[in-house]
Amino acid sequence: MDKLDTQTLELLLRSMGAPSGLSELPTKGLPANTAGIADLVPYEKPTLRGSNTQGFVVSDPRLSQTERNRGAVGAMFVAPESKPEVFSHEAEHLMAKKQLGHPSAINEKFDELVKDPKARGAFVMAAMDAAPYLKEKYGISNAYFDPKLLKNNPAPVALYEQLASLAAAEYTLGVDLTKDPQLRKTLFKDPAVRETYNAVTGLRQTRLDPRDIPPYTRVAEPKAKSLLDKAKESLRMVHGGEAKLI
């Protein structure tokens, strides 16, 4: 626990009780998105065993504490024998905490980039509708994809948790969910949503993204090739060079 800063210790004590019993875990072999936290320190918390909480990060929700949240050590706390997706999920929250000052600030960043005030709530509901498919094909399943959550929580609030779960699956399974044909018809049917999702998840939140663009930068998708473009390419292949259509 000697690596934990004062703020993290205070928040941990306030939210989960005494920090005793923590065991520091190695960072080697964790999912690739954990590389987005330079000072990552994962801890195993025995009291989480068998509970509904498999992992968490601590962050002060007050706006006045934004800079302290950013500066706090990148600590995550997980249940014993946690699967890779738990580490990957919490890494998403830690990157948002470091970049934006609080994990849930991803919600507002999504709104800013997608430029549609209704998109966030629509995404959350679509993710809940897609829950059976997400569970069957990718093993994504938790309370944030369950419509029962809406009884006590407004739909848009769940977005940042859903995004963390989706991104965790991408990094642990090595897939791109925005290219899934089924999800292209439902959750990711809107190009603006796909581009925004790609901007607010994974290493796109840091300069570790291979494109080296500023964090949370929305990048336009390549335009689909027209029939004319495809015809030109076919002619180039046939004639071994540039083709001119007249």
* pLDDT digits 0-9 by tens, 211-227: 889 999 999 988 765 55
Which amino acid would we find at residue 127? A
pTM over 0.95: no
Residue-wise pLDDT for 100-119, tens only, equals 999 999 999 999 999 999 99
Is residue 78 a contact partner of residue 43, using CB atoms and an 8 Å limit? Answer: yes
> Which of the given ranges, 135-139, 149-153, 218-222, has the highest pLDDT on average?
135-139
Mean of pLDDT values over 109-131: 95
Phi/psi of residue 41, each to 5°?
-135, 100
d(CA 84, CA 65): 30
Residues 6+ apart with CB under 8 A from 222: none
Q: At what angle do helices 159-173 and 106-114 cross, to 10 degrees?
A: 90
Residue-wise pLDDT for 57-80, tens only, equals 999 999 999 999 999 999 999 999
Instruction: Specify the pLDDT at position 206.
Output: 93
d(CA 43, CA 21): 10
Which tokens in the block code for residue 108?
């507002």
Is residue 33 a contact partner of residue 104, using CB atoms and an 8 Å limit? Answer: no
| Number of neighbouring beta carbons within 10 Å of residue 187 | 26
Instruction: Specify the pLDDT at position 50.
Output: 87
Whether the per-residue pLDDT at 246 is higher than 50: the answer is no
Instruction: Specify the pLDDT at position 230.
Output: 55
Instruction: Specify the pLDDT at position 222.
Output: 85
d(CA 59, CA 69): 6
